[in-house]
Structure 1
Amino acid sequence: MNRTQGQGSIQAKADQEQRLPAKNEPPGQSAGGVFLYGERVERISLDQRDIRSSEPGSNLVLHDFRSATAAVRRFENLKNEMTKLGKGNYGQVYECEDLQQNKLAVKCHHRNFSELLKVDPNRGEVLLLTMLEHHPNIMAIKSILIGDMDKRRYGLITSPRQLPEDLDRLFVSCVVSEKVEGVSLDQFIKETDCDEKGIVKIFLQLASAVAFIHRNKCTHRDISTTNVMYDPEAGLKLIDFGSFKRGLKRTGSYVGALQLIGKDCLPLDQGGYDPVALDLSEMGAVILYCLTGKYISNFNEMNDSFDFPGSGVESRRFCASMFANKTDQNKKKIITSHLKSRLKDMGPKCLDIVIQLLHPDPSKRLSALQVVERLESI
Structure 2
Amino acid sequence: MTTQAKIVEELEFPYCENASEKYEKLTKIGQGTFGEVFKARDRKTKRIVAMKKVLMENEKEGFPITALREIRILQLLSHENVVKLIEICRSRAGAYNRFKSTFYLIFEFCEHDLAGLLSNVNVKFTLADIKRVMQQLLNGLYFIHHNKILHRDMKAANVLITKNGILKLADFGLARAYGGMTQKGAQKYTNRVVTLWYRPPELLLGERVYGPAIDVWGAGCIMAEMWTRSPIMQGNTEQHQITLISHLCGSLTPDVWPGVEKLDLYDKLEVPKGQKRLVKERLKPYVRDQFALDLLDKMLYVDPSKRIDCDTSLNHDFFWEDPAPSDLSVMLSRHNQSMFEYLAPPRRRGHIPQQQQARPPTDQHFERVF
Shorter chain as denominator, the TM-score bin is 0.5 to 0.7
Distance change in 2, residues 1:372/1:266 (3 Å) = same
Conservation of the 8 A alpha-carbon contact between 2:80 and 2:168: yes
The 3-state SS of whatever aligns with 1:255 is coil
Distance 1:208 1:365 in 2: 17
Distance change in 2, residues 1:366/1:33 (3 Å) = same
Determine which of 218, 223, 232 is the counterpart of 2:154: 223
Conservation of the 8 A alpha-carbon contact between 1:92 and 1:108: yes
Deviations 1:14-42 (A, max 9, x none): xxxxxx865176xxxx77433xxxxxxxx
Aligned to 1:363: 305
The equivalences for 1:195-214 within 5 A come to: 195-214=126-145
Q: Is residue 143 of structure 1 aligned with residue 87 of structure 2?
A: yes
Aligned to 2:15: 53
Determine which of 22, 25, 36 is the counterpart of 1:92: 36
Determine which of 313, 317, 320 is the counterpart of 1:377: 320
Equivalent AA in structure 2 for residue 267 of structure 1: G
Deviations 1:214-254 (A, max 9, x none): 01100100010111123563332221111111124552242
Aligned to 1:352: 294
Conservation of the 8 A alpha-carbon contact between 1:265 and 1:273: no
Number of aligned residue pairs: 281
Aligned to 2:283: 335
Unaligned runs of 5+ in 1: 1-19, 35-43, 45-50, 55-69, 155-171, 299-309
Aligned CA-pair RMSD? 3.2
Distance 1:144 1:325 in 2: 46
CA deviation after TM superposition for structure 1 residue 198, in Å: 1.2
Q: Is residue 101 of structure 1 aligned with residue 101 of structure 2?
A: no
Q: Which has the higher contact order (CA 8 A, sep 6+)?
A: 2
Distance change in 2, residues 1:215/1:142 (3 Å) = same
Distance 2:136 2:199 in 1: 23
Aligned to 2:352: none
The equivalences for 1:1-378 within 5 A come to: 23=4, 32-34=9-11, 44=12, 52-53=14-15, 71-74=18-21, 77-78=22-23, 80-98=24-42, 99-114=44-59, 118-119=64-65, 123-131=69-77, 134-145=78-89, 152=99, 154=101, 173-182=103-112, 184-190=113-119, 191=121, 192-231=123-162, 233-248=164-179, 249-258=187-196, 259-268=198-207, 272-298=208-234, 310-325=235-250, 330-337=278-285, 339=286, 344=288, 346=289, 348-374=290-316, 375-378=318-321
Percent identical among aligned pairs is 20
Distance change in 2, residues 1:320/1:144 (3 Å) = farther
Distance change in 2, residues 1:105/1:21 (3 Å) = farther
Distance change in 2, residues 1:31/1:328 (3 Å) = closer
Distance change in 2, residues 1:264/1:177 (3 Å) = same
Provide the TM-score with structure 1 as the length reference.
0.65
Equivalent AA in structure 1 for residue 223 of structure 2: I
Distance 1:146 1:119 in 2: 17
Distance 1:207 1:351 in 2: 16
The 3-state SS of whatever aligns with 1:226 is helix
Conservation of the 8 A alpha-carbon contact between 1:296 and 1:323: no
Equivalent AA in structure 2 for residue 72 of structure 1: A
Equivalent AA in structure 1 for residue 222 of structure 2: V
Unaligned runs of 5+ in 2: 180-186, 252-274, 322-370
Distance 2:195 2:153 in 1: 5
Provide the TM-score with structure 2 as the length reference.
0.66
